[in-house]
C-alpha cells in the first residue's frame, strides 16, 4: 500500500439536532422527534430522531410526507443558536487534542492525531477520550471512526451508529472497503453510481478488480481517485483552514437551450443541489450567482445579494431565475451551460443572527 498512513479520527454527533432537543426537553425523549418545518407548510425535515427514523423519516424529506409516515411525530422548530453553542463546545474539546481539526459541519470533524497534545500513540484511545468528554460536557453521544485516512475514518464512524467506535487499522483496510457499495465511496453521487452499476461495478472490490487503467479509460481522470478509494487509499490531508467560500452546481446541456421554461426548470434542480449542500455543511448563504455560457462560449455571471442568509431552495431558485430573466439574454441566445452558486456563507464562528428559516440541514 502506497501513501503515508496517518491516524485520522472522524467524529460525528448522533442525530445532532434532535438529540440536543431531547436533551433540553425531557418530554421529547424516546419520542419520534422531527426538527424542521411544519408539515402544514412547505417545510422540510432538518433532522429526525432515531425513533422517527424507524418510520422511514429522513432529513431533507418534505415535512408533510414525514407526518404521513408517522402521524405521532413531534415537529420542533430548529433552535440553531443552541446547536451552534454545542458545536463550539465540541470544537473546544477537539482543540485539546490537536490543532489539525477540519470541521465538516456543526456536528462533524476530521482530526489528524498522528501527533497529538496527549502524546497518546493509540488513536483508539483518543477517540474514546473524545467521546467520553463530549458525553460528560454536552450530555450527548458521538460516533467515531479511526483509520489511516479521511475516507476510511468517515466510513468507519458511520458503521456502528449511535455511540459507535470503529477502528480500522491499515492492515484491515482492504477487507473493510472490499464489500462497500460504490455509493459509499467519497464523491460518488447518483450519476456516477448509475454509471458504475452499468459497468457491473457494485462494490468497491468490483472496482479494484476492474483495474485502474480500465476505470480511467471509462471515467476519465476521476477514475484514478476512485480507484484509490476502492483500495482504501486517500491522500487528502486534514485541512484546518478548509472553509468553503461558496457552494455551486452547474450543468452543460447536450443541445443548446432557448426555452425559458426549460432553463428555469434546470435552475430549480441546480438550486436543489446547492441548498442540499448548504444544509449538509450547515452554512446558509447571503448571495446567489448565476452563470450562463452562450452557444459561442461567451460566459457571464450575474449576482444578487439577499436580505438575509438562506439555505432554501425556493429562495435560491427564485433569485437565480430573476437574474436569468432580467440580466441575461436567455430566450434570445441559445445557452449551453447554466450554473447556480451560493456564496457569503455564514461562518459557524460568526455571532448567530435571527435569520433562520426552516432549513433542510442534513444530520446523519
Ligand atoms: Mg451527525
In this prediction, residue 356 carries a pLDDT of: 40
Cα 362 to ligand 1 centroid, rounded to whole Å: 8
Cα 49 to ligand 1 centroid, rounded to whole Å: 11
What stretches of the chain adopt beta strand conformation (E)? 8-13, 33-36, 45-48, 74-76, 101-105, 108-112, 142-147, 165-167, 246-257, 285-294, 299-310, 335-343
* Residue 281 neighbours by CB distance under 10 Å: 20
For 85-93, the CB contacts below 8 A with 24+ separation are 86/16, 86/20, 86/138, 86/140, 87/348, 88/348, 89/137, 89/138, 90/11, 90/13, 90/134, 90/138, 90/142, 93/130, 93/133, 93/134, 93/137
Nearest residue to 237 (alpha-carbon basis) of 299, 149, 129: 149
pLDDT in tens, 204-226: 999 999 999 999 998 888 889 99
Asked if the model's pLDDT at residue 350 lies above 90, the reply is no
Cα 141 to ligand 1 centroid, rounded to whole Å: 10
Beta bridge partners of 48: 34
> Whole-structure pTM over 0.75, yes or no?
no
Nearest residue to 27 (alpha-carbon basis) of 6, 49, 12, 8: 49
pLDDT in tens, 30-74: 999 999 888 887 778 889 999 999 999 998 788 999 999 999 999
Rounded Cα–Cα distance for residues 110 and 10 (Å): 5
Tell me what percent of the residues of the chain surpass a pLDDT of 70.
Answer: 93
Is the bond preceding residue 162 a cis peptide, omega within 30 degrees? yes
In this prediction, residue 209 carries a pLDDT of: 97
Cα 15 to ligand 1 centroid, rounded to whole Å: 5
Mind listing the domains of the chain with CATH numbers? 1-170 (3.30.70.270), 187-230 (1.10.150), 246-343 (3.30.1490.100)
Rounded Cα–Cα distance for residues 40 and 276 (Å): 21
Nearest residue to 10 (alpha-carbon basis) of 133, 188, 178, 131: 131
Rounded Cα–Cα distance for residues 50 and 235 (Å): 34
Rounded Cα–Cα distance for residues 230 and 271 (Å): 31
In this prediction, residue 266 carries a pLDDT of: 94
Beta bridge partners of 13: 142
Model confidence band, residue 349 (pLDDT cutoffs 50, 70, 90): low
Average pLDDT, the chain: 89
Model confidence band, residue 360 (pLDDT cutoffs 50, 70, 90): very low
Cα 221 to ligand 1 centroid, rounded to whole Å: 31
pLDDT in tens, 91-112: 999 999 999 999 888 899 999 9
- Please tell me the least confidently modeled range out of 218-227, 243-252, 310-319: 243-252
As annotated, the active-site residues are 108
In this prediction, residue 348 carries a pLDDT of: 57
pLDDT in tens, 258-302: 999 999 999 999 998 898 888 777 778 889 999 999 999 889 999
Amino acid at each position: 500500500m502506497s501513501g503515508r498512513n496517518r491516524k485520522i479520527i472522524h467524529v460525528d454527533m448522533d442525530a445532532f439536532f434532535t438529540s440536543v432537543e431531547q436533551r433540553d426537553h425531557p418530554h421529547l425523549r424516546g419520542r419520534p422527534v422531527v426538527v424542521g418545518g411544519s408539515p402544514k407548510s412547505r417545510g422540510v425535515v432538518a433532522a429526525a430522531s432515531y425513533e422517527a427514523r424507524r418510520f422511514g423519516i429522513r432529513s431533507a424529506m418534505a415535512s408533510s410526507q414525514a407526518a404521513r409516515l408517522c402521524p405521532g411525530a413531534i415537529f420542533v422548530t430548529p433552535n440553531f443558536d443552541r446547536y451552534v453553542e454545542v458545536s463550539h463546545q465540541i470544537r473546544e474539546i477537539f482543540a485539546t487534542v490537536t490543532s489539525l481539526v477540519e470541521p465538516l459541519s456543526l456536528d462533524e470533524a476530521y482530526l489528524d492525531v498522528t501527533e497529538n497534545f496527549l502524546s497518546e500513540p493509540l488513536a483508539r484511545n483518543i477517540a474514546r477520550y473524545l467521546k467520553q468528554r463530549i458525553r460528560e460536557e454536552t450530555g450527548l453521544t458521538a460516533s467515531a471512526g479511526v483509520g489511516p485516512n479521511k475516507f476510511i475514518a468517515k466510513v468507519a464512524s458511520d458503521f456502528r451508529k449511535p455511540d459507535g467506535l470503529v477502528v480500522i487499522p491499515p492492515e484491515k483496510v482492504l477487507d473493510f472497503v472490499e464489500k462497500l457499495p460504490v455509493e459509499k465511496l467519497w464523491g460518488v453521487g447518483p450519476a456516477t453510481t448509475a454509471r458504475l452499476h452499468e459497468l457491473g461495478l457494485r462494490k468497491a472490490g468490483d472496482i479494484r478488480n476492474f483495474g485502474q487503467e480500465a476505470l480511467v479509460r471509462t471515467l476519465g481522470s476521476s477514475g484514478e481517485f476512485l480507484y484509490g478509494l476502492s483500495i482504501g487509499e486517500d491522500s487528502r490531508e486534514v485541512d484546518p483552514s478548509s472553509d468553503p467560500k461558496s457552494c455551486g452546481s452547474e450543468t452543460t446541456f447536450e443541445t443548446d437551450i432557448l426555452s425559458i421554461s426549460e432553463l428555469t426548470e434546470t435552475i430549480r434542480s441546480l438550486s436543489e443541489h446547492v441548498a442540499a449542500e448548504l444544509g449538509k455543511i450547515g452554512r446558509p448563504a447571503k448571495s446567489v450567482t448565476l452563470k450562463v455560457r452562450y452557444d459561442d462560449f461567451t460566459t457571464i455571471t450575474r449576482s444578487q445579494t439577499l436580505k438575509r442568509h438562506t439555505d432554501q431552495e425556493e429562495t435560491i431558485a427564485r433569485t437565480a431565475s430573476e437574474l436569468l430573466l432580467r440580466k441575461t439574454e436567455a430566450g434570445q441566445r441559445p445557452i449551453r451551460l447554466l450554473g447556480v452558486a451560493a456564496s457569503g456563507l455564514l461562518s459557524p464562528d460568526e455571532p448567530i443572527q435571527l435569520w433562520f428559516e426552516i432549513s433542510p440541514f442534513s444530520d446523519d
